[in-house]
Amino acid sequence: MSDSILADTAQRLFAERFTPELLRAADAGHWSDDAWTAAWAAIEEMGLPLALVPEEAGGFGVEMVDALGLVRIAGSFAAPVPLAETMLAAWLLAGAGLAIPAGPLGIAPTQSTKSDLALTRDGASWRLTGTAQRVPWGRVATAVALLVEHESGAADSGALVCRLEPGDWTVEEGRNIAGEPRDTLRIDATLDPARVAPAASGVTPADLFAMGATLRSLAMAGAIERVLELTVQYAEERVQFGRPLGKFQAVQQNLAVLASQAAAAGAAADGAAEALAERNGGVLRVLPIAAAKLRCGEAAGLTASIAHQMHGAIGFTHEHVLHHLTRRLWSWRDEFGNESVWALRIGREVAEAGADGLWPLVTAA
């Protein structure tokens, strides 16, 4: 399947499956309903969760930038499914040579590059204890791919990937603003050697955090583009004082700002995806990712504000699709680091480069 056909097919799939009725059911927390289960089964049947996995590991072998574009499409439909998390978890497991189970997957840690998770030897097995905070979709995951630093002074020192299964944790349920599961997993498990392996190509928790930020940036870019489309359509159709809203100069100015935010977010997210694709086992360029998460987060806030101002009260009604998108924008901007986190990272990178290194740093990014 060519990349353009894959994107077009994904568009049709999400448009068909993620109806307003399904979005409202997801808001109510009905994650095991027939419609939600069928939607995820259709996504799996199409192979989307394995888009980042190489062919030799059983995946699609899609170019990374094109595979990441699927997350942008899902974001544009406010799809309440863990596609991004499952793609990232499958990539992490495949890189470590671990089996990839069917079903939705979780990823941890997500809050920062540090955690209280401790991995120690227990004879021929491993002992993992600690807490993984706000794991996306933890309660519905068939497995969670967890990356943890291990320092034993032996050959297995470094970042290790662990494949956890539901019996390895207890769940304390949580939600983000959009109502999506963000669960605390309390882990106390003994893992056999077949479920623990070194991460591929020196992947670190910092890399994982940056990859998560890239996926959230892409999802926000997709949602912002859809919000722009909905708002322009509403301004053309809604008549006030005898003419469409879009004919008023103040409204046109707001639409122009909204369009500029969508363009900026899309370009920034594309840059982050390209940086991720260029890693190829080497050092990950974090500056484009930091800039993307920062810029998309800023755009998310402005986009939601303008869109709801334009739609008025109707945008908040239970039946309208707008709030499904804007609540996800508000949630995603805080996940895998908010604007402050990534602004500080950019500041550190610039300060470390110094005056003479600033221009090479910017042009390399």
The pLDDT value recorded for residue 61 is 78
Going by DSSP bridges, is the β-strand pair 105-108/143-150 parallel, antiparallel, or unpaired?
A: parallel
The pLDDT value recorded for residue 114 is 62
The pLDDT value recorded for residue 344 is 95
H/E element holding 218?
helix 205-237
The pLDDT value recorded for residue 1 is 54
List the beta strands (DSSP E) in 234-326.
239-240, 243-244
Rounded Cα distance between 153 and 20, Å, is: 54
pTM to 2 decimal places: 0.94
Could you tell me what percentage of the chain is helix, strand and coil, using 3-state DSSP and rounding each to the nearest 5? 60, 15, 25
Which of these, 220, 223, 229, 228, lies nearest to 258 by C-alpha position? Answer: 228
The pLDDT value recorded for residue 365 is 61
The pLDDT value recorded for residue 300 is 97
Please, what's the b/e burial string for 196-210 (b: 16 or more CB within 10 A of its CB; e: otherwise)?
bbbbbeebebebbbb
Q: Is 334 strand, coil or helix?
A: coil
- Virtual torsion, Cα 139, 140, 142, 144, nearest 10 deg: -50
The pLDDT value recorded for residue 157 is 54
Say which residue the tokens 């908010």 belong to.
338
The pLDDT value recorded for residue 156 is 53
Report residues of the chain scoring pLDDT below 70: 1-3, 112-114, 151-157, 280-281, 365
